[in-house]
């Protein structure tokens, strides 16, 4: 492959932007290369949002928020609540906060955290959502779910979307950690599941 010319390099450095209607809310997103699914809302996120129950006063956490499509949609759908978005990538956090400001969403903010490691133990949520990465260890999933359990209020819900090949593992893990599991929707590629504390 021939080296890229300066104009192409400069163009690639510019933000990618697009708008999308999610749960009835039209949002504008700016993203960049290196953040997950920078050119469009990915299939898993879209499926999760289509089957996610959001209450107007939910105090939610979006884990692995990327540039913010889940968290910002939740915040728009929960005007009396709020959504904390977290990611371990500082670039994602910057873009999620900028997208919150760009869309005039003042009940959502993003912070740097490795899962819930940097969230105060006293902070509790009624809703946790995540588009789980497919390539991590079972031990990491269990630690992650246990941390979510400890941060959910009684009656709080966790919703995840995973590649369908992981659905049986998620079922076992949810039953072990939360004591229950419900498969919400399964498509060809992804499965949405939830559990309640």
What global pTM score does this model have?
0.94
Instruction: Tell me the pairing of strands 59-63 and 182-186.
Output: unpaired
Which contiguous run of DSSP H or E holds residue 146? helix 138-151
Which contiguous run of DSSP H or E holds residue 95? helix 90-102
Check: CB of residue 158 under 8 Å from CB of residue 152. Answer: yes
CA distance linking residue 97 with residue 186, whole number of Å:
31
Q: What is the largest distance, in Å, between two alpha-carbon atoms of the chain?
A: 58
Per-residue pLDDT of the chain (197 residues; tens, 9 = 90+): 667 888 888 888 899 999 999 999 999 999 999 999 999 999 999 999 999 999 999 999 999 999 999 999 999 999 999 999 999 999 999 999 999 999 999 999 999 999 999 999 999 999 999 999 878 888 999 999 999 999 999 999 999 999 999 999 999 999 999 999 999 999 999 999 999 99
SS3 45: helix
């Amino acid at each position: 492959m021939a080296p890229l010319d300066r104009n192409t390099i400069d163009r690639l450095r510019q933000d990618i932007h697009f708008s999308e209607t999610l749960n009835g809310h039209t949002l504008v997103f700016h993203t960049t290369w290196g953040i997950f699914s920078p050119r469009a809302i990915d299939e898993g996120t879209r499926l999760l949002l289509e089957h996610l129950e959001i209450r107007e006063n939910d105090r939610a956490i979006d884990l692995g928020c990327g540039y913010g499509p889940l968290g910002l949609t939740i915040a728009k759908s929960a005007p009396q609540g709020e959504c904390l978005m977290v990611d371990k990538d500082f670039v994602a956090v910057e873009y999620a906060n900028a997208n919150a400001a760009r869309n005039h969403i003042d009940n959502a903010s993003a912070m740097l955290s490795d899962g819930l490691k940097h969230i105060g133990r006293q902070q509790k949520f009624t809703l946790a959502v995540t588009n789980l990465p497919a390539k991590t260890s079972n031990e990491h999933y269990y630690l992650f779910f246990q941390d979510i359990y400890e941060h959910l209020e009684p009656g709080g819900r966790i919703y995840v979307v995973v590649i369908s090949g992981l659905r049986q593992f998620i079922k076992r893990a949810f039953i072990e950690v939360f004591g229950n599991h419900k498969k919400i929707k399964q498509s060809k590629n992804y499965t949405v599941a939830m559990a309640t504390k």
